[in-house]
Structure 1
Amino acid sequence: MKAIICEAYGLPEKVVKITERPTPSPKDNEVLIKIHATAVNDYDWSLVLGKPYLIRLMFGLLKPKHGLLGMELSGTIVAMGAKATKFKIGDAVMGDTSEYGFGTFAEYISINEKAVIQKPQALSFEEAAAIPHASCLALQALRDIGQIKEGQKILINGGGGGVGTIGLQLAKLYNCEVTGVDSQEKLAMMTSLGYNHVIDYKKVNFTKAGETYDLILDCKTNKAALSYLKALKPNGAYVTIGGKLSGLLKVLLWGKFAPLFSSKKLKVLALKTNIGLDYIIELLTQHKIQCQIDGPYPLEDAGRLIQYFGDAKHKGKIVMTTNP
């Protein structure tokens, strides 16, 4: 089978390679999935670069131990392990596999059957690959951690990416006023999706603009931790889902101390994979929200697309498809 792997740490277009590997056989509790579509995530960018250096402690000091890329998929069950009972051959499935393993940048993957759920017919394979990770991040950040309420004033930093575009639509279900922060190139698209206000991050630092918000969803974590408190209303909440490790650690630290002197909250989301995905699928099939897909592109473009992701030029979720 064709698979995309990372052979060394470095720039994606230099170290990400197309290889031929044996098609795996499913172990007892695994299913073999023919992958139809997959998506690029921060994991892929971080693994390829080998940064932050914590990545190297987890996946290999000098080079990746396995080099497996990809953690989202949609596809079809083609074989089952002896003890796998959740699906049958021919079932269409989807999911974020990161709790059980990586390697969705390939034609096939053998993975624990718990890593995926049934794909509804109403969703295309491209849509199904675009939502498991980003939509669960957005939902858990806004609803579960941020406790979003009707009519709130919300800001999403990184509003034009996969998490931001879903987060906007979830916030609109609560009739919230939503501001999105991203690059100038994405602002028109963001306005067309329904953002009430958009900010070019190169021109305006939202933590110093004088506006305050009930809830901030941050996909970047690229400001001083205490500055987020200044951008929150009393009893407001800031929730980050990703960004530089140093920024996340500072938010985590100050989040412990903030309650001692403020009613505002600083939170770091620890994602629970695929939790809430059924709800997102229900919203999609009822046309209450929609996917914003950048692509689809062929799997062979993985190196270029990981760099594209790292440069933050993508609009929505970068989706790749394998050959039929």
Structure 2
Amino acid sequence: MKAIVQDEYGPPHVLSLGEVPIPTPGAGEVLIRVRAAGVDYGVWHAMTGLPLISRLGFGLRRPRNRVLGMDVAGVVESVGANVTEFHPGDEVYGAATGTYAQFVLARPGKLARKPANLSFTEAAAVPVSGVTALRTVGQVAAGEKVLVIGAGGGVGSFATQLAVAGGAHVTAVCSAAKADLVRSLGAQAVIDYTREPLTGTYDLIIDIAGNRSLTVLRGLLAGRGRLVIVGGEGGSRWFGGLGRPLAARLISPFTRQRLDGLIALTRTADLDALRDLIEAGTVRPAVGRTYSLAEAGTAVSDLASGNAPGKLVITVD
């Protein structure tokens, strides 16, 4: 089968379109014929091997998994002997390892039935970003003031919609190029971070792949407000931006403010909850651009540039 492979860490040119064997599902696995796969920062980290501490999981000298990709939407091709939740022909979406390929293996606990009102391309934009946003926003209360930093990206576009659906007043922070998108998702106010300072007081701040200090963010937070830092970009070559979410968790027990750093795992229950919201019309994926499988390197480059709106998706023939 065709797949995007890499044999070393580095920039997008280390990716190439190659041939690898079609995997055989084990007793507890599902083989999916991939129709589309999302692009997220986890892919960038796996490609570059940065920060260096991440190589403890990815592989010390070279990538342990040659094929990139986490989000997936497709059709079940076959299932292992112990799998009862899914059957050949089922349309599914979820998370797996190595989704930039024509086929991929997945665990049933990371899959769910695809939303009926979404195409495969749209469904592939949901799993990792949607689940992260769902866990980040949590039980927002009507009337709360929410600040979403990075509202124009994959996680941010879902977080904005979920907060609006909860009755919150949402202020979205993004570049001017993404302002129309976040307004269309329901944000009542938009701040262009390249031109305007952050002001105001908020009950919930969601900082997605940002680099502002905890001191600055806490200054914008209400006395009993909640701050959630999603991801860890920037920072040192060894530890990247992991210092901020770690510091948030260490400080939180000693303040009335709730500070946390989040890395969400994709689970069937969360995918089912997102499907219900999507089929009800409450939330929709904001697909910014699509790419062919051979253009995966370009897709990751566009993601890293920070200029692409919404979620980027790779389609697989």
TM over 0.5: yes
Amino acid at match of 1:232: L
Count of aligned positions? 311
Give the 5 Å matches for 1:152-231: 152-206=144-198, 209=199, 211-231=200-220
Task: Give the Å deviation of 1:114.
Answer: 2.7
SS in 1 for 2:242: helix
Of stretches 279-288 and 62-71 in structure 1, the one that deviates more from structure 2 is 62-71
Which residue of 124, 133, 153 corresponds with 1:129? 124
Query: Equivalent residue for 2:102?
Result: 107
Query: Equivalent residue for 1:3?
Result: 3
CA distance change for structure 1 residues 8 and 233 in 2, over 3 Å: closer, same or farther? same
Q: Distance in 2 between matches of 1:266 and 1:112?
A: 32
Query: Equivalent residue for 1:151?
Result: 143
Task: Give the Å deviation of 1:246.
Answer: 4.7
Structure 2: stretches of 5+ with no match in the other structure: 234-238
Query: Equivalent residue for 1:26?
Result: 25
What TM-score does the superposition give when structure 2 sets the normalisation length? 0.92
Question: Identity across aligned pairs (percent)?
Answer: 35
Task: Give the Å deviation of 1:28.
Answer: 1.4
Q: Distance in 2 between matches of 1:151 and 1:71?
A: 35
Q: Distance in 1 between matches of 2:240 and 2:104?
A: 33
Amino acid at match of 2:181: M
Query: Equivalent residue for 1:297?
Result: 291
Task: Give the Å deviation of 1:95.
Answer: 0.4
- Structure 1's consecutive aligned runs of 4 or more residues displaced over 4 angstroms after TM superposition are none
Query: Equivalent residue for 1:141?
Result: 136
Of stretches 118-127 and 173-182 in structure 1, the one that deviates more from structure 2 is 118-127
CA deviation map 1:179-223 (0-9, x unaligned): 1112222123222332222122223342xx3x1111001112301
Matched, 1:237 2:226: yes
What TM-score does the superposition give when structure 1 sets the normalisation length? 0.91
CA deviation map 1:145-201 (0-9, x unaligned): xx4111111110110011111111111112211111122221232223322221222
CA distance change for structure 1 residues 252 and 205 in 2, over 3 Å: closer, same or farther? farther
Query: Equivalent residue for 1:318?
Result: 312
Matched, 1:119 2:77: no
Task: Give the Å deviation of 1:53.
Answer: 0.8
Structure 1: stretches of 5+ with no match in the other structure: none
Give the 5 Å matches for 1:88-107: 88-97=87-96, 102-107=97-102
SS in 1 for 2:232: coil
Q: Distance in 1 between matches of 2:20 and 2:190?
A: 45
Q: Distance in 2 between matches of 1:89 and 1:133?
A: 24
Task: Give the Å deviation of 1:253.
Answer: 2.4
Task: Give the Å deviation of 1:303.
Answer: 0.2
Q: Distance in 1 between matches of 2:180 and 2:117?
A: 29
SS in 2 for 1:126: helix
Tell me if structure 2 keeps the 8 A contact 1:155–1:178.
yes
Task: Give the Å deviation of 1:248.
Answer: 3.5
CA deviation map 1:90-120 (0-9, x unaligned): 11111022xxxx1000000123333312224
Tell me if structure 2 keeps the 8 A contact 1:156–1:179.
yes
Query: Equivalent residue for 1:17?
Result: 16
Q: Distance in 2 between matches of 1:192 and 1:253?
A: 34
